[in-house]
């Protein structure tokens, strides 16, 4: 979709990191922003900062995992802005590090509530309004991760959730191709990006708290594997420009980090080899 002034962009997790960088980049193109985030002080600060830079910003405190709250946010944004052109389902959390056999139900619940159900809630709340604008192109961007197209260790709930986001996005894209081809879908799969993701615990609900069961002797190896994944993180503003370019080219899958390309290709080749063997 060509990005144009006065289009309305909804961004979840818009108060920090990648969401904030996307907001700033879209404001630079003249779009009207609607930022949703669970963290009020950060949301207020970001909205104020972007307004001071000249952006038109609506800011709503909203937990993406709360389906009713997302529906209410969609109604509120529509009543303020009258249209929705771009939906960015970006809010996400990291979860705990550790081997899968020691993972805990609360961790799976939290990571899936935000990273998977949050995306589903965003689609259910906002896509119906986009369907009502048939003459006008619209676009959905879902933030997955390189962990959604590869399978790094010691992050199983996160990896599973991000694979789910890729599947949901591709399935949605096909549904829309049949039913409403004016709406396109892109799923973004970044490697490490400078943000507050390492401090996601700040947003973990108290009833989903976990105490790590990972034995101390395993922790250094796990930390090393994680640091490899997050090595040399990309500035969020640079990622945002790559995403906007991908949206304007209607790219269904936006892989942003060249250093992860070999792993992504190796996995794709394993899938292709298995399919060839079956053919
Ligand atoms: N930073 C990375 O290296 C990286 C890499 C790949 C993918 N991602 C993905 O990018 C997205 C953005 O993360 P980020 O790196 O900018 O981290 P971040 O912590 O800086 O930003 C995430 C934002 O989401 C908000 N949020 C968390 N839970 C929420 C909820 N329940 N409802 C509404 N908002 C909520 C946070 O308050 C925060 O503003 C996530 O989906 C993350 O998984 C990040």
Please tell us whether the domain made up of 8-278 is placed in CATH 3.40.50.150. Answer: no
Q: What is the mean pLDDT of each run of 10 residues along the chain (279 residues)?
A: 97 98 98 98 98 98 98 98 98 96 97 98 98 94 98 96 98 97 98 97 96 90 88 96 98 96 96 97
Q: How far apart are CA 37 and CA 271, in angstroms?
A: 37
Q: Choose among 19, 173, 151, 35: nearest CA to 93.
A: 19
Q: Closest Cα to atom 6, ligand 1: which residue? A: 145
Per residue in 77-87, pLDDT (tens digit) is 999 999 999 99
| CA of residue 91 to ligand 1 center, whole Å | 5
**In the chain, what is the greatest distance between 2 CA atoms, to the nearest angstrom?**
60
| CA of residue 88 to ligand 1 center, whole Å | 12
Delimit the domains of the chain by residue range: 8-278
| CA of residue 275 to ligand 1 center, whole Å | 34
pLDDT at 82: 96
The first and second tokens of residue 173, run together, are 């894209």
pLDDT at 135: 87
Question: Which sign, positive or negative, has the C-alpha torsion 84, 86, 120, 206?
Answer: negative
pLDDT at 35: 99
φ and ψ at residue 166, rounded to 5 degrees: -65, -45
pLDDT at 193: 98
Q: Choose among 194, 86, 96: nearest CA to 142.
A: 86
The first and second tokens of residue 62, run together, are 């909203």
Q: Closest Cα to atom 43, ligand 1: which residue? A: 92
Sequence-distant (≥ 6) Cβ neighbours of residue 250 within 8 angstroms: 1, 139, 184, 186
The first and second tokens of residue 156, run together, are 């199983």
φ and ψ at residue 19, rounded to 5 degrees: -60, -45
Q: Output the ligand 1 site: residues, CB below 6 A.
A: 12-13, 15-19, 37-39, 42, 63-65, 90-93, 114, 143, 145, 190, 192-193, 195-197, 200, 203, 233
Interior CA angle at 100 toward 98 and 101, to 5°?
Answer: 110
């Amino acid at each position: 979709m060509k990005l144009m002034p006065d289009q309305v962009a909804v961004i979840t997790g818009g108060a920090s990191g990648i969401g904030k960088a996307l907001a700033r980049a879209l404001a630079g193109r003249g779009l009207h922003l609607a930022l949703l985030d669970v963290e009020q002080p950060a949301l207020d600060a970001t909205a104020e900062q972007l307004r001071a830079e000249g952006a038109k910003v609506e800011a709503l405190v909203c937990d993406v995992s709360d389906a009713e709250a997302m529906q209410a946010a969609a109604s509120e944004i529509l009543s303020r802005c009258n249209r929705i052109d771009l939906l960015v389902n970006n809010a996400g959390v990291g979860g705990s590090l550790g081997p899968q056999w020691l993972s805990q139900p609360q961790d799976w619940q939290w990571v899936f509530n935000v990273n998977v159900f949050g995306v589903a809630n965003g689609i259910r709340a906002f896509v119906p309004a986009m369907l009502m604008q048939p003459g006008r192109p619209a676009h959905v961007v879902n933030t997955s991760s390189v962990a959604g197209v590869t399978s790094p260790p010691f992050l199983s709930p996160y990896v599973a959730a991000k694979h789910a986001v890729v599947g949901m996005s591709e399935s949605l894209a096909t549904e829309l191709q049949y039913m409403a081809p004016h709406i396109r879908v892109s799923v973004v799969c970044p490697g490490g990006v400078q943000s507050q993701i390492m401090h996601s615990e700040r947003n973990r609900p108290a009833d989903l708290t976990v105490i790590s069961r990972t034995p101390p002797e395993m922790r250094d190896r796990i930390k090393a594997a994680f640091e490899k994944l997050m090595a040399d993180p990309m500035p969020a503003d640079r990622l945002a420009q790559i995403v906007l370019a991908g949206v304007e080219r209607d790219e269904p899958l936006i892989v942003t980090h060249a250093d992860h390309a070999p792993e992504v290709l190796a996995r794709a080749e394993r899938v292709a080899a298995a399919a060839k063997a079956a053919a």
